[in-house]
Structures are given as structure tokens and as C-alpha cells.
Structure 1
């Protein structure tokens, strides 16, 4: 396993980050335990979760994943120091989480306490804002005209950001969190948090996790350049495009129990003729180079300049093994050329 420094935090994290959003919906406690144990045996030391999980998010599954991780930590207290544990506070819009309200300083304080209780730990290594209070061009809203940036009250959002930073700083001073990160945000969001942190001597974000894969790479190059020069670690989520890049949904297939058989959310299942054509070509390239389509997609993410750690998710140990193996694969020049030509042919199908 290879490791990288997580932004300006000084934390040394594995290039593989174990995602957990299926735990509590598609996976039970025993299966989650097996995934954690196996990942640790392969050198993974970075686990990502969220108060909102499991997914698809529902009132009944809220907090379930953190609770499952908490049970594992309680049974393996001697391993807590070996893990970089990241979780997230949900943003606005979910009626069963703080009435769907914005993230505020008060919400940060209360949510940190609740996550600590569910996780059965004294501290969270990286506490992340799951999505910003303003509408951002994520979850399929990246096409021109989908949202109006000029409708945003800039100063009001900057004031909210400062209040959030002050609350995060208080949690850090109390030893409840070590660092904080962003998720589903933009270069403007990163810049404002870094600027406010410097102006007010407050903690700066050490990471951001955004959707990034062979079908959806809008963060390259501008946001990722910002991350590199601001010492903000870039963490791709959905590197397999919700499993689509495995090829398992081609030709209308819908494997039983797969993610796309669950309820649609936020327009993430963006299947169309162009995505299918791109995926079919990536499948061919993978087979030409004697690796699986999933491994091709993950190995590509891993070699993108500026990527610190890629968040993977699996519902079986077989999938988890295949995925972790991908990070030991160095793509050949011929494979990279073939991938690049396909990206040019299908520049943003997802």
C-alpha cells in the first residue's frame, strides 16, 4: 500500500480510502466488520463515513453507518490509533436532519457530539461538510444553466462560512476533531474557507472530496490545481460512477441487489447512449491490458496528478479485493493513451 500526506494536516493516509455508505443498507454489521478487517490487513488506514449514511438516505437509516463503525471500534479499541477516521455533517435539504436547515455553528457543535457518540470514539480525525449551504454544481447540476451563481447572497454565505470555521475551531480546541475538510464544493468555496482561515487565524480545510471518474472529470484541471497549490487533498468519490464503470449495467443489465436497483437520488444514475458507449470502450481497453474494468477506472484515478486518496466502496469482499488490487497496478503508456483518446471522444457524458 502506498500513502500520501492529507493536505496540510500532516496525516499519512493510504491511497485507498474505505468508503462505508452501503453499511446499514446493502451490508450488515458482520459484513462491515469483515470489510474493515480485510482493508486494514491490506494496509488501508483511511475510512470515510457520514452522519447521513446509509444510502439511499432515509430517516430509518440515518446514523446507521456511524453506529456500525462504532460497534467495530468498541470491539477493537486497540486499533483506533491506527485509523484515520473521517465523517461528515449533512448539509441542508433533508427534513429529518435538523429540519433540513443550513449548516450553522450550533449545528456543527451538536453534530460532532452525536457522531462521536455513534462512533464510540473520543475524536474524529477529519470532520467534513458534506455539501455547502449554497447550491453547488454537483450531483448532476454541472451543465450550463442548471443553477444561477448570481442568485447567491455572497456576503451572507461568507458570514456563514466564518461562523462554521469558528465552531470547527472550538471543536478542535476541545480535542473532538483534529482537522476539517470539504465535500461537493467548488474552487470558490475552497478559496473562501482558506482566505477566512488566514484572516481570522482559524483552521483551514485539509481536504475536499468530490465526484470524479472516467465519466465525470469536471474538477480537472482547475479545481485540482487549486487543491495542489493550497495544500488541500483531493479525494475522488464515486470513482466507478456508482458501479457503472465495472460494465455491469451495459445493455440494460440490472444485477440483483446492485446500487442502481435502489431508489434514484440526486440524478446520480446518469445512464444514456454516450455513457454506455464510453463504458463499453473502457471495458475493451481493460480487457486488452488484462485487468478488470473496475481496476482500469481506479488505477486511472490513482495516477491523476493531485489525487491524494480515492474513496472506494464495495458490497462484497470479492469486490473489495479487486478494488484494492487496482492500486497496485501501474497503467502502461498504451493504456493511458487509449483512455485519453476515449476521454476526448466522450468528454463529459455523465
Structure 2
């Protein structure tokens, strides 16, 4: 395994992070424990979860993923060997069953305390804001269209104050963003620069893959210059970049088969690009999965690549990508395909 440091900390994390959002829906508790056992054996010490998981969210399964991680910690005693990340759900129609969502002081405190109880731990190493409170271009939107009905008032100072208090109490150690834009990222960073007592955002968890390289447009420079590391999620685009949906196939347990409304990576241009990436991988005696993950692993702004799996076979292949180095010739060919089909999945 390869390790990096969480920016501005001494915490070393595996370059492959274990994603968990299927546990409690597509995976049982036993399967979740098996995945954690194997990942830990392979040197993965970084787990990412959220109070909203499993996905798709449902009141009857609320926070079941955190509970599964909690029972594994209790069973194995490995809590002190894992760097644990979780998230508070943002404001949305599909999160109203959780609480009056958003990042008000009482919401943040309630969310952190709930996660600590379910995870059976006294602290969370990295606590993230799952998506912005304001109306902006997250979750599948390429561009920003201003919503005049959005009456969001800038509360970033107050959010950081609450997070500071939670850090001071020892309940969380560090803070990060997720599904954030360049404006939002810089706004948080500038606030903590001006007000030195406020915690600094050290990571940003956004989508990044061969089908979605939008992070490179504005956020990659911010990431490198400001040292806010990318935790890349959906590096296989809901499994599309395994190639298993090519030719109109619908594997029985595939995420898009089970949840057809998750079509962010299923456009016609996404399929054309995926076929070209598949062919390129085959020419180089790689699986598409290996090539897609190795590409993400190689980017200079990546702190960790969040992989997920519903089977042990998938998990082993995904983790194994850390041992693959792509040559400059393959990178060049990848970039040629990207020029033909730039970011087909926003």
C-alpha cells in the first residue's frame, strides 16, 4: 500500500480509501465486516462513511452503514488503527427524515453525537460537510445557474465556529468539504485564514474519474496551491468504468440496474467514451477497472481514492490498482479520448 498525509496533519492515510455506502442496502453487515477485514489486511487504514449511508437513503435504513462500522470496531478493537471519516447530510428534500438538515449549530452537534454513538467511538478523524447548504452546481450539474429563490445567508463563519468547538471537545479532529465548488472552497479557506482560531478545511471529497474530470477545471489548482487534498469518489462512475454495462448489458446486482434513476454516468457519450477506454485498457493488457483507478491514483492533487465494492472479487481488483503504474503513452491516449469526450458525466 502507498500512504499519503492528510494535508496540514501528521496523519498518514492509505492512497486507497475504503468507501462504505452500499453496506446496509446492497451489502449485509457480515459482508461489510468481511470487506473491512480484507481491506485492513491489505494495508488500508482509511475508511469513509456518512450519516446518510447506505445510498439510496431511506428512513428505515438511516445510518445503518455507520452502525456496521461500529460493530466491526467493537468486534476487532481496531478503532485506533483506522483513520475514520464521516459526513453530515446537507439540506435536501431527501434528507428531511433525518432532522431539519443544514449546518446550524444544533444540527452539527446532533449529527456528530449521533455518528459517534453509531460508530462506537469517541472521535471522528475527519468530519465533512456532505454538500453545500446553498443552491449551487453539485450532483451532476456542470455549470452554475443562479437560483433567485435561494435565500441562503453566508453562515460559513458560524459553521466553522461550531466545528471548532467540536474539535476543542475532542469529538472531531479535522474538517473537510464534499461536493463543493471553487467559490465555496475558497470561501471556507479564506475565513479560516482571516480568523486564525477557526479550523481549516483540509480535504475536499468530490467526484473524479475518466468520465468526470471537472475537478481539473478550477479546483485542481486550488487543491495544489492551498494544499486541500482531493478524496476522489465514484472513480468507477457507479461501476460504469468496469465495462460491465457496455453493449446495453444490465448485470443483476449492478447499481444502475437496481437503481435506474442513478444515470449520471449513463449518457450516450459516456458509453462511447467508456468503450474507447475499455479498448485502450485491453490493448495494454489491463482491465478497464485497473486502468481507470490507476489513472485516478496517479493525479498530483489526489490524497486518497475512495473505492467501493459489493463483492469481494470487485474489492480485490479495486485495491490491487495501487500496484499499477500507467506509462506516459497510456496517459497520452487517455487524454486523447478525453479531448473527444470531455466530461460526459457531470
TM-score under structure 2 length normalisation: 0.95
Could you say which residue in structure 1 is the equivalent of 2:19? 19
Q: How does 1:190-339 map to 2 (within 5 A)?
A: 190-200=185-195, 201-264=197-260, 268-339=263-334
**Superimposed CA distance per residue, residues 230-272 of structure 1 (whole angstroms, 9 cap, x where no aligned partner):** 121111100001100111111111100110122345x543412
Could you say which residue in structure 2 is the equivalent of 1:114? 114
Could you say which residue in structure 2 is the equivalent of 1:50? 50
Task: Say if 1:195 and 1:103 are closer, same or farther in 2 by CA, change over 3 A.
Answer: same
Q: How does 1:85-96 map to 2 (within 5 A)?
A: 85-93=84-92, 94-96=95-97
Q: CA deviation at 1:150?
A: 7.0
SS in 1 for 2:68: helix
Ranges in structure 1 where 5+ consecutive residues have no aligned partner: none
Task: Say if 1:149 and 1:206 are closer, same or farther in 2 by CA, change over 3 A.
Answer: farther
- Please give the alpha-carbon distance, in whole angstroms, between the structure 2 residues aligned to 1:223 and 1:70: 33
Q: CA deviation at 1:152?
A: 5.5
Q: CA deviation at 1:97?
A: 1.6
- Please give the alpha-carbon distance, in whole angstroms, between the structure 1 residues aligned to 2:325 and 2:106: 46
- Please give the alpha-carbon distance, in whole angstroms, between the structure 1 residues aligned to 2:182 and 2:267: 29
Structure 1 contact 162–196 (Cα < 8 Å) conserved: yes
Structure 1 contact 55–61 (Cα < 8 Å) conserved: no
- Please give the alpha-carbon distance, in whole angstroms, between the structure 1 residues aligned to 2:278 and 2:255: 19
Structure 1 contact 22–315 (Cα < 8 Å) conserved: yes
TM-score under structure 1 length normalisation: 0.94
Structure 1 contact 22–54 (Cα < 8 Å) conserved: yes
Ranges in structure 2 where 5+ consecutive residues have no aligned partner: none
1:185 aligns with 2:184: no
**Superimposed CA distance per residue, residues 13-57 of structure 1 (whole angstroms, 9 cap, x where no aligned partner):** 110000000000011111111100111111111000000000111
Task: Say if 1:137 and 1:332 are closer, same or farther in 2 by CA, change over 3 A.
Answer: same
Could you say which residue in structure 2 is the equivalent of 1:343? 338
